[in-house]
Amino acid sequence: MHFSRRPLFAALLLALPAISVHSQQADTDVLEEIIVTANYRETSLMNSVGSISVLGQDTISERAAQHLEEVLNAVPNVTWAAGASRSRFVQVRGIGDLEQYYDPKYYPSVGMKLDDLELGDSANAGMLFDVEQVEVLRGPQGTRFGASAHAGMVKIRTHAPTDTFEGELSGGVGNYDSYNLGLVLSGPLGEDVKARVAVQQYNSDGYIDNERLNEDDSNDFDELTLRSRLQWAPSDRSHYELSTFYFDSDNGQDAWSLENERDTYTDQPGEDNQETLGITLRGDWLLTDALTLETVVSYIDSDLHNSYDADWVSDEFCQQYLCSFGNDTAREVFDRDRERWVADMRLLGNRGDDRYVIGLYANDSSEDFDYQYFSLWYGDYATTSDYDTDRYAVYGEYEYAATDRLSLVAGLRYERFEDDYSDTNGFSEDGSDDLWNAELSARFDWTDDTMVYATIARGGKPGGVNTTASANRPWMSPPFQDFTQGKLSFDDETLWNTEIGIKTRQFDQRLGLTAAAFYMDRENAQLENWMWDDAAGLWIGYLDSTSDANSYGVELEATMLVTARLELFANLGWLETEVDSIEAFDLDAWGFVEKEDRDQAKSPNYQYNAGARIMFTEQLSARLEVEGQDDSYYGYYHDGKLDSYDLFNASLQWQNDSINVTLWGRNLTDEDYAVHGLYFGNDPRDNYGAWANQTYFQWGEPRTYGVNVSYAF
């Protein structure tokens, strides 16, 4: 842990009360109530069972966050993996996918929802313009979401249409030639109809300089977000909503450098593009005073293109340096076309003080995948594949009010999973699985301001076929053919989560505190692994389910309203993980080795986020915060780690009735920290030890700063 910058910040926090000596008395002020919507019913955060974090609109605005990845660092025991222009996969308590190249993945371990729309693993579209709050649920959410939330769920909740007309025009500029421009319109269209439309364009040159092409925008961001919500309430007993979502990104993909700098030498910088259209139709009917029917039908279509310069250099580079075997000029291209239909229907009822839910769920998904690899050394290779999945589930939950203070909850979900895969290599496979998820919880209201809970939950994630390994096995060299004989498929993963927690409000509702301790046990843990078959020129990715794994830890979140003008907050996570045993191809030993008692990838032992909000006047406020995490492995085929880091963020806001101005800065100390890593030999220069194995990093955001302005009308 690095403390070099923290004494200054700690001294500042200790001095902050002096800033507020002229403030109002705090005994008239309380913390705002936070409502969680990811459950079946809207519930106060302090009354919700489970370890849940909620990031509100103020946090998003004060951090000047454009994308989900710019706020998730504030959540304990939650990390994200890059590998593309944006974070595409999220890990909760060390469980989650790390990257995607060839194999289809319809079951990311951490689910992603935008209101009622399932984004799946399209987290690139997690833009935060006109978002009210982000809810993060840790642990399996089996009853509610099934295998879609095996380790947790992230829900992005947007602003709803308003009863009166209002609008907002916003814009901002920052370093690296970044800018954003947005418009929101909301209000009634008739007596029973109201609507909201939000549109934003965000651009930035990115943080990479391409020396070969003399460009500073080869890893740029170009992202358009458009959302609409139309609500119709023809009576007090019925409500309908039509939501649309459109996201179009044309981002660069040029992140890797031989010297681990922000300077690249590629002559074929890649692209990371996504075009997504989502439509959701929701209906709510109050059948009786004690029974409600809810139905949600959604459709999402995503076209994803990802390409990159696989050798990272150019012919000119190999003229400047002596390169072994010259320049490969390799390029890899991934094109995916995904479609998903989802229908979810449930009855929510009351029986006296007891409550229950009964639901039906259906999901039909497909992916058409085109893969191309162009190589001077290994030749050109192309393949296409089709992958279809069908999921059907029935689920229920019953909440029993045992006493005025004690309630018990039991939930169960049975899910049928079927899939069908085929590709132009002549490989095809179809399978089916029966999955079940369950939860038992007890909640006790210790006092009017304190609640304690205990829960045990089971999550199931389907097994399947390692399509890359299976399709390419005939071309592997004999040692790799022998090794993959037992790795061509992976088993169902079962996750058990045992958790106890406390949520309390103290000091006249000025201190909010939540804490949770957990133990998670994974049977047949699905772990991502890679191996390099040099003789065949193949990188082979696969899921390995031959080992069990476990993790345990603590999450603590506290907010203290010291005075009416000073609020302190701290979010802390501690995590210990262990993989029993995993066999991998070690590039240094150049053979298969067994690794025992290994930490899970992307599982830092600690994470923290702490800071203060200060109201200098009724119009002028500031936010100061530090955040960081411990080092962590980023894979299993090597022992490379992402180093620990500590970041300092700050913002200054001025606002009146209609204008808001925010001066903001992130990573103000300009610390270099990695968000993804690779380990292999890719440097062709003889005088640098050609093809020696080395760790390569994809760097996180450097020092960024700017100003955002919004005008409400």
Q: What is the pLDDT of residues 195-235, one digit of tens each?
A: 999 999 999 999 999 999 999 999 999 999 999 999 999 99
The 3-state DSSP class for residue 261 equals: coil
The mean pLDDT value for 419-429 works out to: 89
User: Encoding tokens for residue 530?
Assistant: 């890679």
Percent of the chain residues past pLDDT 70, beyond the cut: 95
Give the confidence band of 597 by pLDDT, cuts at 50, 70, 90. Answer: very high
Residues for the chain: how many in total?
A: 713
Check if the beta carbon of residue 629 is closer than 8 Å to that of residue 79. yes
Whole-angstrom Cα distance, residue 40 to residue 159?
19
Q: At residue 635, does pLDDT exceed 60?
A: yes
Please list, in sequence order, all residues whose beta carbon lies within 8 angstroms of the beta carbon of residue 359, skipping any fewer than 6 positions away: 344, 345, 346, 347, 393, 394, 395, 396
Backbone phi, psi, residue 257, to 5°:
-130, 140
Residue 560 included in any domain: yes
E strands in 402-492: 406-423, 428-447, 450-461, 464-465, 489-490
Task: Judge whether 619 lies within some domain.
Answer: yes
Please report which helix (H) or strand (E) contains residue 389, including its range. strand 381-401
User: Which pLDDT belongs to residue 357?
Assistant: 96
b/e sequence 250-267, b meaning 16+ C-beta within 10 Å: bbbbbbbbbebebebbbb
Mean pLDDT of the chain: 91
Give the pLDDT of residue 105.
61
Q: Encoding tokens for residue 528?
A: 């991502």
pLDDT of residue 50: 93
Q: What is the pLDDT of residue 25?
A: 38
Collapsing DSSP to helix, strand or coil, 97 comes out as coil
DSSP state of 681: -
Q: How many domains does the chain have?
A: 1
Share of the chain above pLDDT 90, in %: 72
Q: What whole-number distance in Å separates Cα of residue 240 and Cα of residue 165?
A: 20
Q: Does pLDDT of 18 surpass 80?
A: no
CATH code where residue 419 lies:
2.40.170.20
548: left (phi over 0), alpha (psi -120 to 50) or beta: beta
Instruction: Tell me, yes or no, whether 1 lies in a domain.
Output: no
* Amino acid in the structure at residue 105: K
**Other Cβ atoms within 10 Å of 468 Cβ, number:** 22
CA-atom Rg of the chain in angstroms: 26
The separation between CA 74 and the C-alpha centre of its own chain, rounded to angstroms, equals 12
Q: Give the span between the Cα atoms of 154 and 408, in whole angstroms.
A: 25
**Residue 372: count of CB within 10 angstroms of its CB:** 15
In this structure, how many other beta carbons lie within 10 angstroms of the beta carbon of residue 632?
24
| Tens of pLDDT, residues 557-580 | 999 999 999 999 999 999 999 999
Task: Determine the pLDDT at residue 102.
Answer: 67
Q: Read off the pLDDT of each residue in 241-255 and give the average, rounded to a whole number.
A: 96
CA distances from 53 to 136, 388, 448, 571 (A): 5, 34, 21, 9
Q: Is the pLDDT of residue 334 over 50?
A: yes
Q: Is the pLDDT of residue 589 over 80?
A: yes
> How far apart are the C-alpha atoms of 694 and 697, rounded to whole Å?
10
On the question of pLDDT at 1 being above 80, the answer is no
Residue 496 banded pLDDT, cuts 50, 70, 90: very high
- Say how far apart CA 118 and CA 257 lie, in whole Å: 35
Q: Return the pLDDT at 81.
A: 81
**pLDDT (mean) for 501-527:** 96
Cα(110)–Cα(98) distance, rounded to whole angstroms? 11
By residue range, what is the domain housing residue 108?
6-712
Whether residue 680 contacts residue 532, with contact meaning beta carbons closer than 8 Å, is answered with yes
Which CB contacts under 8 angstroms, 24+ apart, belong to 426-435?
A: 427/467, 427/470, 427/471, 429/465, 429/467, 429/470, 431/463, 431/464, 431/465, 433/462, 433/463, 433/492, 435/146, 435/147, 435/460, 435/461, 435/462, 435/492
At 109, is the secondary structure helix, strand, or coil? Answer: coil
Average pLDDT of the residues in 165-174: 97
Given a contact cutoff of 8 angstroms between Cβ atoms, the answer to whether 664 and 708 are in contact is: yes
Q: What is the pLDDT of residues 118-150, one digit of tens each?
A: 987 667 889 999 999 999 999 998 788 877 889
Containing 703, the helix (H) or strand (E) segment is none
pLDDT > 80? residue 674: yes
CB 551 within 8 A of CB 576: yes
Q: Bridge-partner residues for 384, per DSSP?
A: 370
**Residue 325's CB: how many other CB atoms inside 10 A?**
11
The whole-number pLDDT of residue 8 equals 37
- Identify the residue whose tokens are 């994803």: 304
The token pair that represents 27 in the structure block: 């005994």
Listed in sequence order, the DSSP H helices in 386-543 are 467-472, 478-484
Q: What CA dihedral angle connects 69, 74, 77 and 78, to 10 degrees?
A: -10
